Amino acid sequence: MQRNVSNTIHNDSISEVTVTERRKSLWKRITRNWELYLLIAPAFLYFLIFHYGPMYGIQIAFKNFLPARGIADSPWVGFTHFKRFFESYYFWDLLWNTLSISLYELAVGFPLPILLALAFNEIKNGFFKRTVQTVTYAPHFISVVVMAGIIITFLSPSTGIIIKFIEWAGFSAPSLLTDPAWFKTMYVLSGVWQSTGWGTIIYLAALSAVDPQLHEAAIMDGASRFRRIISINIPTIIPTITILLILSIGSILGVGFEKILLLQNALNMSSSDVIDTFVYRTGLINVQYSFSTAVGLFNSAINAVLLITVNQIARRTTEHSLW
Amino acid sequence: MAAVIKESKTDRLFLICNYLYVAIAFVLVLYPVVYILSASISTPSYVNSGEMWLLPKGITFEGYMRVFENSKIWVGYGNTILYTVVGTLINLLVTLPAAYALSRKDFVGRGFFMGMFLVTMFFSGGLIPTYLIVKQLGLVNSMWALILPGAASVWNIIVARTFFQSTIPIELQEAAHMDGCTNLRLFLKIVVPLSTPIIAVMALFYGVGHWNSYFNALVYLNDQSKYPLQMVLRQILVLQEMSTSAQGAATSGEAAMAMNAKADMAALLKYAVIIVATLPIIAVYPFVQRYFVQGVMIGSVKG
């Protein structure tokens, strides 16, 4: 408070004095809290080394990386690697697989948590609600390896229980694990099983902000439950929906590649190979560092552009956006 | 009056449908879990033939015996516990101090640091450049390669920062400063003890992440004796399945019979190993559920 007063007084006097004074007070504000820099130092170093370090390393996408010569001294090759990728026969397959898995997942996986949250919200607090919530949240904590193991076991052609159910229902079961036509559906549905419950939490938080008076007034006017959900609950969670939608579109080329990598096999490759698994294979298995980095850079550049574009559109058309 | 009754009738119909919908979701989520539990203690032939589809049949604990005899699983278990404990500690030591510094309005450079952290949420160097850094630091094939590249998450820093901002009153800090308390002491003696809920949330988020991760181990570890549990599970659950089914198709007659018996046992082991690997988290989870939920909600306020 006192400092502010003295600052304004100095502002009225000669400007040169003000500048030095300000510099002094800024220096004072920095040194007085010097320990805060100590506190943030580990995080600063972590992001510098493990995030900005790799960003510096992105230049090998435009170089011919030779481990012996290091990142800086490897020769530049311009867009050679990008050209090779765009002109390759697998480029469109990879792009199509990545996009279609993502959009499929978005189309099925995005609305379901909203519907389930709206349904949870209509149920009175009590044992039933608590039990259902606990059980539906739980799969979120199953590791991706166990998840892949469950999928493989359940869909195993000779013994899998899901195959058995399909046969009991009188159909002949397709080979869900190896048939490329089924891969994407299996990927998306297992994701729905694992994350729909957990996804409701954020919407339930938003729904708890609904003003009860709105509902009371609507009941007075004779509005049915369904009507009240449509006219009160859904509009309340629209901002949350918008922001989550922007975020998921922003990562549309970032599919859950850890799961895909585990479910991939030689037979379903034509529909399960996505950009990220390709980057892993060419980079770390086939050791084509520069080419793989170029493909990865293409991926994250598209993601960044998509995120910014979708956010712009959201800001223009609605008042909700990330920034 | 008639109108009111009619209204409540449609409402009741709606509520019934609603309960039905929730109940179906509940059963769909619960069924695979019950099936795996039952299968892990049933005789393999009943499981594989589909005779066992809900409750255990021909109860046997051989699957679990096989798991307990398997030294690979135990080594993996030990490694995972080590990586999870050390990793989570480092996560907290990086996240909490940084979050506290960022929560202080009088911290000069707050915007710069926040901006620097946020950029990494939207743009990353990618797999290979990160791999090259880890390799250059000499971390390949050590547990630090699993821990240091994920030492903090921007999201968790934001969550903790939001918590500090909303729960540690500014007056408390001013009073502490008046008394000549330094920032470091303030953080250690006042802020940390007041923040046990957020520390629990952070520890749980990070801990589950370490327990469940396999990809960094796949990329950075060469030594099988250093493999965490998830890598061992990958060998048992994912890789072996592919090899047995491929071989099963090629052989015939007696060889196939022997193969089938072996496959039976392998399947039983799978169910048991799924339970053993997931149990620690599933057992702890109901008790800490409210913390998880809190964490997601604190994050969503700012998100």
Residue A76 pairs with which residues in a beta bridge? A63
Within 10 Å of residue B127's Cβ, how many Cβ atoms?
A: 23
Is pLDDT above 80 for A27?
A: yes
Q: Helix (H, G, I), strand (E, B), or coil: what is residue A1?
A: coil
Query: Mean pLDDT across chain A, nearest whole number?
Result: 89
User: Which of these three, B60, B77, B96, is where a domain ends?
Assistant: B60
Residues in A closer than 8 angstroms to B129, CB to CB, are 53-58, 60, 293
Per CB-CB distance under 8 Å, the chain A contacts of B14 are: 224-226
* Total residues belonging to chain B: 303
Determine the distance in angstroms separating the CA of A15 from the nearest CA of chain B, rounded to an integer.
23
Residues B156 and B184 in one domain: yes
What pLDDT was estimated at residue B303? 42
Which of B60, B83, B102 lies at the terminal end of a domain, its last residue? B60
Beta carbons of B125 and A226 less than 8 Å apart: no
pLDDT at A1 over 60: no
Contact A44 B32 (CB under 8 A): no
pLDDT tens digit string along B104-118? 988 999 999 999 999
Residue B299 and residue B303: Cα distance in Å, rounded? 6
A49: which 2 tokens? 């080394």
In-domain check, residue A40: no
Clarify whether residues B5 and B71 are in a common domain. Answer: no
- Residue A107: predicted pLDDT: 95
* Cα-Cα end-to-end distance for chain A: 32
Residue A79 in any domain: the answer is no
Instruction: Check residue A63 and report its DSSP letter.
Output: B
Task: With cut-offs at 50, 70 and 90, classify the pLDDT of residue A295.
Answer: very high
Task: Pick the residue from chain A with its C-alpha nearest to B281.
Answer: A141
Is A18 part of a structural domain of the chain?
A: yes
Query: Whose structure tokens read 């493909």?
Result: A295
pLDDT given for residue A258 in this prediction? 93
Contact at 8 Å (CB) between A215 and A228? yes
Cross-chain Cβ contact B238/A262 below 8 Å: yes
Output the pLDDT for position B85.
97
Look at residue A18 in the predicted model and tell me its pLDDT.
65
CATH number reported for the structural domain that contains residue A175 in this entry: 1.10.3720.10
Which tens digits make up the pLDDT trace of B66-94? 898 999 999 999 999 999 999 999 999 99
Percent of chain A with pLDDT over 70: 93
* Residue closest to A279 by CA, chosen among A267, A294, A268, A262: A294
3-state secondary structure of A76: strand
Tens of pLDDT, residues A188-219? 999 999 999 999 998 998 998 899 999 999 99
Of chain B, the percentage scoring pLDDT greater than 90 comes to 56
How many structural domains is chain B composed of?
2
Residues of A in contact with B97 (CB under 8 A): 39-40, 42-43
User: Is B245 found in the same domain as B224?
Assistant: yes
Q: Are residues B254 and B127 in the same domain?
A: yes
The answer on B244 and B164 residing in a single domain is yes
Tokens of residue B9, six digits: 């009738």
Whether B140 and B7 map to the same domain: the answer is: no
Domain count of chain A? 2
- pLDDT for A251 beyond 70: yes
Same domain as B46, residue B26: yes
Looking at beta carbons, which residues of chain B come within 8 Å of A123? 18-19, 22
B55 and B181 assigned to the same domain: no
CATH number for the domain harbouring residue B299: 1.10.3720.10
ipTM: 0.88
Q: How far is B20 from chain A (nearest CA, A)?
A: 10
Give B7's contacts in chain A (Cβ within 8 Å): 222, 224
pLDDT at B292 over 80: no
Contacts of A310 (CB under 8 A, 6+ apart): A245, A246, A249, A250
Q: Tell me, what amino acid is at A67?
A: P
B148 → closest Cβ in A50, A157, A303: A50
If you average pLDDT over residues B100-107, what whole number do you get? 93
Interacting residues of B254 by C-beta distance below 8 A, sequence separation 6+: none
pTM here is: 0.88
User: Which residues are within 8 A (CB) of B96 and not within 5 positions of it... i.e. 6 or more apart?
Assistant: B160, B192, B195, B199, B202
Beta bridge partners of A63: A76
**What's the 3-state SS for chain B?**
CHHHHHHHHHHHHHHHHHHHHHHHHHHHHHHHHHHHHHHHCCCHHHHHHCCCCCCCCCCCCHHHHHHHHCHHHHHHHHHHHHHHHHHHHHHHHHHHHHHHHHHCCCCCCHHHHHHHHHHHHHCCCCHHHHHHHHHHCCCCCCCHHHHHHHCCCHHHHHHHHHHHHHHCCHHHHHHHHHCCCCHHHHHHHHHHHHCHHHHHHHHHHHHHHHHHCCHHHHHHCCCHHHCCHHHHHHHHHHHHHHHHHHHHHHCCHHHHHHHHHHHHHHHHHHHHHHHHHHHHHHHHHHHHHHHHHHHHHHHHHHC
Chain B residues inside the 8 Å CB shell of A68: none
Residue of A22, A134, A155, A161 best to disrupt the B interface, most CBs of B under 10 A:
A161
Mean pLDDT of B39-64: 90
Question: Is residue B145 located within the same domain as residue B157?
Answer: yes
Please report the pLDDT score of residue B176 as a whole number: 86
Residues B85 and B180 in one domain: yes
Answer for the pair B69, B130: CB distance below 8 angstroms, yes or no.
Answer: no
Q: Above 80 in pLDDT, residue B198?
A: yes
Same domain, B226 and B246: yes
A15 and A139 fall within a common domain: no
pLDDT, one tens digit per residue, over A149-202 is 999 999 988 889 999 999 999 998 899 999 999 999 999 999 999 999 999 998
If asked whether residues B212 and B94 sit together in one domain, one would say: yes
Q: What are the pLDDT digits (tens) for B228-274?
A: 999 999 999 988 743 444 444 444 566 667 767 776 777 788 999 99
Task: Specify if A122 maps to a domain.
Answer: yes
- Per the structure, the complete domain to which residue A10 belongs is given by 1-32
Separation in Å, CA of B107 to nearest CA in chain A? 7
pLDDT (mean) for B188-214: 90
Structural domain of residue B142, as residue ranges?
64-303
Question: Nearest CA to B268 among B79, B75, B27, B52?
Answer: B52
Last residue of one domain, picked from the residues B60, B76, B101: B60
Between residues A247 and B224, which one has the greater pLDDT? B224
Looking at per-residue pLDDT, the higher value among B190 and A255 belongs to: B190
Contact indicator for B154, B67 with CB cutoff of 8 Å: no
**Contact call for B267 and A153, based on CB within 8 A:** yes
Do A17 and A153 belong together in one domain? no
